[in-house]
Structure 1
Amino acid sequence: MLHMFDLTGKVAMVTGGNMGIGNALAIGLAKAGADLFIYTYDQTNVEEMKKEVEGLGRKIAFASGDLSKEENAMAAIDECIKAFGKIDILVNNAGTIKRSPLLEGSNADWQSVIDLNLSSIYYLSKCAAKEMVNQGEGKIINIASMLSFQGGKFVPSYTASKHGVAGLTKAFANELADKNIQINAIAPGYIETANTAPIRADEKRNNEILSRIPAGRWGQTSDLVGGAIFLASSASNYVNGHILAIDGGWLVR
C-alpha cells in the first residue's frame, strides 16, 4: 500500500517553503519523491534548502516575490510551469500575522494580512486549477489554523483570513472535485515556529495553551508532514473539501 503515498515524478509548489512549517512540508514532500518549486519572500535558507533537496536526488527551483501583490500571485504558477512544465501539487503556505488589540489595530495591517493570507490563495489556486484541469488531476493543500474554527484574541485579521481559507477550500472543492482535483487544508495546532515565539515567551499564555492540549506539548513542524504527504498523494483521492486538524487534540478538549 505504500505506493499510494509515493510522489515520484510529481511537481510540488510550496509558497513560503524556505522557512518554518512550509520548509518542513516541502522537505517532507521531497522525501516522498516530489520535485519542488519554492516561492519565497526573500532568500533566507535558500542555499541550504537547495543542497538538502538535491542531496535527496530531487530537483528544486526557486522564485521570489511578494504574494500579497495580485500581479505576483497571478504570475507565480506560470513560473512553476516554466521551471518544470507542470504543477501537480500546490501548497498554499505563505502567510503572516499582525498582533494588536482590536481597538488599536491599523487598517493597513488588516489589509496586508488579508491580501497575503486569503487573496493570494484565491489567485494561486485559481491559476493552478486551470493547469490541473488540463492535466486531468491535481492536489491543492491550503494551510488553515485553529483560528479557522475559533476567534482568538488580538488577531482579528488573521482569524478572518483563516476562516476564509477554510471557506475557499470548501468552495473550490465543490467546483473542482468532478475534475479529479482535490482541495483540502491542514489546520495546524499550536506549533513551535517563529510566529508563535511571542506566545511561548509569555509564561501565562504558554501555560494556558499547554493545559488545554491533550497531547501535553506544543507541536513540531515535523508533526504536519504526514498529513501533507497524505493529502498530496493518491491515498487521498476521495478526500475533498476537508480541513484536517493536526493539533494534539486541542479542538476536542
Structure 2
Amino acid sequence: MNDLFSLQNKRILITGSGQGIGFTMAQGLAKYGAEIIINDISGERAEKAAARLKEAGYKAHVAVFNVTDPQDVEQAIENIETGIGPIDVLFNNAGIQRRHKFTEFPVSDWNAVVAVNQTAVFLVSRAVARRMLSRQQGKIVNICSMQSELGRDTITPYAATKGAVKMLTRSMCVELARYNIQVNGIAPGYFKTAMTQSLVEDSAFTDWLCKRTPAARWGEPEELIGAAVFLSSKASDFVNGHLLFVDGGMLVAV
C-alpha cells in the first residue's frame, strides 16, 4: 500500500503541455516518478518544457503533433509507442478559448474551439485506447471544466465542448472499463493562468468570484496536481467515468 500513489514506471502523455496547466501537471506527475511525454503543436515550446523537466532530473520526451489532425495524431501515437514505449496514462489537456457574444460568434472561432477542445479528445483517446486494449490496462484523464456543468457569458462554444467532453468521458468508461481502462475527468474551477489573466486583473470579476466561491479565492495551478496524481495511480483503479471537480466548492454553492 505504500506505493498507492506512486507513478514509478508510468509513461504519461499530456497534450498541450508545453506551457500553462499542462506543464504544471507534467512537473507534478514527474515528481511522483512518472516519465513524461510533452506534446505541443509548437516544437520550440515542447523542447523547452522537456528541457526544464530534464534539468530537474526527470525523464521527459517530446511529441510534436497537431491534436486536431487525425493522420498526425495516429502517426504520432504510433511513433511514441514504438520509439519511446507504451503509453500508460493519457491526459487530454489541450484546449483553447474564444470570447464573443453568442449572437455575434464567428463560425470560424466556433469550429476552432470544437476542434481543439472536443474533437481532439476523441482523436487522441481513440488512438491511445486502441493500444491500451491489447495490453488490457491504461488510464485516460480528460480535462473538463466548471463549464461542463455551468454556462457563462461569451463562451458558449467552450461550455458546449466541455459539456461534450464530460459525456465523452462517461461513454468511454462504459466501453473501456471492461478492459481495465479507467477513464475519468478533472474539472477545474477558476484558476490563475495565462488564459484567465485578464479576468484575474479585473477587480470586479475577482470580487464576484471570491463571493461566489466558498473558498473565497482563485485556485493556483499547482492545486490540480493532487487530482492528477490520484487519477494516474493505482489509487484510482476502481474509479471510472467520474468527474473530479477542483473548484473551491463553487459548483455546490448557491
Larger mean Cα displacement after TM superposition, 25-34 or 203-212: 203-212
Q: TM-score, normalised by structure 2?
A: 0.95
User: Structure 2: 5+ residue runs without aligned partners?
Assistant: none
Distance 1:74 1:165 in 2: 20
After superposition, the Cα gap between the structure-2 partners of 1:46 and 1:116, relative to the gap in structure 1 and judged at 3 Å, is closer
Percent of residue pairs bearing the same amino acid type? 38
Distance 1:45 1:112 in 2: 21
Shift of 1:56: 4.5
For 2:234, the equivalent position in structure 1 comes to 234
Residue 69 of structure 1 contacts residue 115 of structure 1 at CA under 8 Å; is this kept in 2?
A: no
What one-letter code is carried by the residue in structure 1 that aligns with 2:30?
A: A
Q: Note the alpha carbon deviations across 1:61-105, whole angstroms, 9 max, x for none.
A: 112233223322333322321332210000000010100101111
After superposition, the Cα gap between the structure-2 partners of 1:65 and 1:47, relative to the gap in structure 1 and judged at 3 Å, is closer
Helix, strand or coil: the match of 1:194? coil
Residue 31 of structure 1 contacts residue 56 of structure 1 at CA under 8 Å; is this kept in 2?
A: no
Shift of 1:45: 4.5
Residue 76 of structure 1 contacts residue 124 of structure 1 at CA under 8 Å; is this kept in 2?
A: no
Match status 1:177 vs 2:196: no
What one-letter code is carried by the residue in structure 1 that aligns with 2:82?
A: K
Distance 1:152 1:79 in 2: 40
**Superposed counterparts of 1:75-224, under 5 Å:** 75-224=75-224
Shift of 1:43: 3.9
Distance 1:28 1:66 in 2: 24
**Superposed counterparts of 1:62-73, under 5 Å:** 62-73=62-73
Match status 1:58 vs 2:54: no
For 1:250, the equivalent position in structure 2 comes to 250
Shift of 1:47: 4.6
Distance 1:152 1:7 in 2: 36
What one-letter code is carried by the residue in structure 1 that aligns with 2:122?
A: Y
Aligned length: 253
For 2:35, the equivalent position in structure 1 comes to 35
Shift of 1:49: 2.9
Distance 1:40 1:109 in 2: 20
User: Structure 1: 5+ residue runs without aligned partners?
Assistant: none
Helix, strand or coil: the match of 2:119? helix
Residue 47 of structure 2 contacts residue 62 of structure 2 at CA under 8 Å; is this kept in 1?
A: no
After superposition, the Cα gap between the structure-2 partners of 1:123 and 1:47, relative to the gap in structure 1 and judged at 3 Å, is closer
